[in-house]
Structure 1
Amino acid sequence: MRTPNTFKKGRGKGQFRRAKSGEVAYLEALYSSALAEAVNMKKMEKLKKKVDWKKEKKQKLVGKRKHAETMDVQDPAVLRQCLGPHCVNPNRPGSKYCSDDCGMNLAAVRIYEILPQRIQQWQNSPSVAEEHSKKMLENILREQQDVHTHLKYLEGQYHELEAIILRGKQQAICKDEESTKVIPERVQQIFCVSCGKSISMRVALRHMEHCFAKYECKASFGSLYPTCIEGATRLFCDVYDPTSERYCKRLQVLCPEHSKDPKVSSDEVCGCPLVHNVFEPTGNFCCLPKCLCIHHYCWEKLRRAEVDLERVRALYKLELLSEQEHKVRTSMRNRTGLLGLMLHQTIQHDPLTNDLRSREDN
């Protein structure tokens, strides 16, 4: 008779126990998986019952609503009377009125009844916010008037500068040997503010101007729309760039990318107006040739840019003031509008007592 493998000779009790423990673990795993599957099936059944119950409830509500609407349409006795003034017709299904005109007529009657009282209350009780808005509006209008006056003054400066430039170009050339004498390179040296190189004083202004223009071309200042300012002349470059699809917004006289300085001829005079004590004009002009004058390089461009920059600042300030005026007027209009008066109300409990909000702080 053959014996099982677990009881064969050479096998001990420890091996038998290990085999038995492996079978138990396998049975436990099977039981836990079956239990988890049963729990999942039970949850799915509950969820399915819940979804079916919600669908049935929704269908019942929709059926009741449709049944009520059909009953209202079929039975005129169930319909209510329209709420419109002097209207005896039944209302429409799902509405309080028989037509849109009845609703508009009722709203007009309510406005005629309530609005005069609210207007009288608004006039009797002072509004501190309204007083503050009026003061702000007065200040804004005063500042706008000052900016307009300053703009007219700047426009006058613009035309005056053009006249001075024209007069300077009409001067006769005077060649002065002492003024055009070469300065020793080893004595007069200066560093460029843009690139930092050591350059001669004789060509310092020319080098700095070209160096600045080279670095300025690397940056872009553009907008999607061209500038349209009424009464303003020669402000922005406004050259369209098809690559970036933008309009250049540099000053026209300073744009190094779209405007180049004209070539200077040998018989062209400098024409820069001379001054005394830095700011006092003498009435005289520099009569040196423009190609040899090292003290007034590009003076026309810099003077024009100075005037144009002041005009741009004034226009920007005028735009900010216009936005502030729009905000103040909008708040005042909303405060005293039909909707504001109908929705809000100020109650003065004691008419003999002055309003504490209007009292000035000591």
Structure 2
Amino acid sequence: ICHILPQRVQQWQKSPCIAEEHGKKMLERIHREQQDAHTRLKDMECHFHELEAIILRGKQQPVCEDEETNKSNRNNAHMQTFCVSCGQSISSHVALRHMEHCFVKYERKWSFGSLYPTCIEGATRLFCDVYDPKSKRYCKRLQVLCPEHSRDPKVSDDEVCGCPLVHNVFEVTGNFCRLPKSVCNLHYCWEKLRRAEVDLERVRTLSKLEELLEQEHKVRTAMTNRAGLLALMLHQTTQHDPLTADLRSKVES
């Protein structure tokens, strides 16, 4: 080892390693993607707090009966559609309520658990994390969508819907739906769905960060092993052209 290793180290230092250059470029790309993901996560946290503020503003609106909306709901009561879960033909007037109940019924049949609770720094209200003593696992559903451990509160007669109204699907008008929440079928469970949308995007960003961290670990491990003792002793680079330090084969023009 003392006779061969110094020569191999000298050869390693003289000839540039193309794999090492590729590894450095991959690390730079991974670091850029990590920064973008962290920025995205911060934006989603801000969006989370903005949504909570919008929900609070909507709850402060006074209740107002809209005769035109009630008339439109009565006119649409005869229209039929099919439930995406059970396939049953239902009235469009109560389609959202029926589909939500079907989703809860089927979701309760499945279990999503982990042996360890979630510990994410800076994350607010993400996973359910209720411990089940029977399965000895922590629930890993989204907290706002978990049908087992988080039930929707009862709606009072004087509670307002409070859903932000939009024009042409995406243009926010700044107004809120002021129908009683127990009557409004158009915006059924809108708070839960909006919260779930934000939380799901946060989970995707966290999964992306975990994937990038694993990629970085693999690249760094490969770069470390490439210049290790065993690799230097077992492998040798033969430099056929002493006039050039670039050992890559070049295509003749």
Q: TM-score, normalised by structure 2?
A: 0.92
**Runs (5+) with no aligned partner, structure 2:** none
Cα gap change, 1:354 to 1:360, in 2 (>3 Å): farther
The residue aligned with 2:11 is 121
Greater helix fraction, Structure 1 or Structure 2:
1
* CA offsets 1:232-260 (integer angstroms, 9 cap, x no match): 11111111112222211111100111110
Change (3 A) 1:360 1:354: farther
Per-residue deviation, residues 302-358 of structure 1 (Å, max 9, x unmatched): 000000111111111111111110000001011122343344332324311453417
2:114–2:139: 8 Å Cα contact kept in structure 1?
yes
- How far apart are the structure 2 equivalents of 1:355 and 1:190? 68
Q: Which residue of 1 aligns with 2:181?
A: 290
1:190 is displaced (CA, Å) by: 2.0
For 2:15, give the aligned amino acid.
S
Structure 1 distance, partners of 2:252, 2:53, is 56
Cα 1:160–1:186 shift into 2, 3 Å: closer
Q: Report the alpha carbon displacement of residue 116 of structure 1 after superposing the two structures with TM.
A: 4.4
Please tell me whether residue 177 in structure 1 is matched to residue 72 in structure 2. Answer: no
The 3-state SS of whatever aligns with 1:269 is coil
Code of the residue aligned with 1:313 in structure 2: it is: R
Query: 1:128·1:358 contact (CA, 8 Å) conserved in 2?
Result: no
Distance in 2 (CA, whole Å) between partners of 1:315 and 1:258 is 23
Taking the aligned partners of 1:231 and 1:186, their CA distance within structure 2 comes to 46
CA distance in 2, matches of 1:128, 1:339: 19
Aligned CA distance change for structure 1 residues 311 and 115 (closer, same or farther; 3 Å)? same
How far apart, in 2, do the equivalents of 1:186 and 1:319 lie? 48
How far the C-alpha of 1:178 sits from its partner, in A, is 2.8
1:183 is paired with a residue whose SS is helix
Alignment of 1:55-74 (within 5 A): none
- In structure 1, runs of 5+ residues without a counterpart are 1-106
- Partner of residue 21, structure 2: 131
Secondary structure of 1:288's aligned partner: coil
Structure 2 partner of 1:263: 154
Paired positions, count: 252
Which one has a bigger Cα radius of gyration?
1
Instruction: Output the CA distance in 2 between the equivalents of 1:115 and 1:357.
Output: 24
Report the secondary structure of 2:154's partner residue: coil
User: Do structure 1's residue 161 and structure 2's residue 48 form an aligned pair?
Assistant: no
Tell me which moved more, 303-312 or 232-241: 232-241
Change (3 A) 1:137 1:360: farther
| Counterpart for residue 273 of structure 1 | 164
Structure 2 CA distance for partners of 1:352 and 1:204, relative to 1, 3 Å: same
Looking at structure 1, the residues matched to 251 and 176 of structure 2 have their Cα atoms a distance apart, in angstroms, of: 61
Question: Among 216, 220, 231, which residue is 1:329 paired with?
Answer: 220
319-328 or 225-234, which moves further after superposition? 225-234
CA distance in 1, matches of 2:203, 2:65: 39
Aligned to 1:236: 127
Structure 2 Cα separation of the partners of residues 313 and 248 of structure 1: 18
Question: Aligned partners of 2:133, 2:103: CA distance in 1, in Å?
Answer: 25
Write the letter of the residue equivalent to 1:298: C
Summarize the alignment of residues 1-362 of structure 1 with structure 2, pairs less than 5 Å apart.
110=2, 115-181=5-71, 183=74, 187-353=78-244, 355-357=246-248, 359=250
What is the TM-score when the length of structure 1 is the normalising length?
0.65
Q: How many angstroms does 1:128 deviate by?
A: 1.2
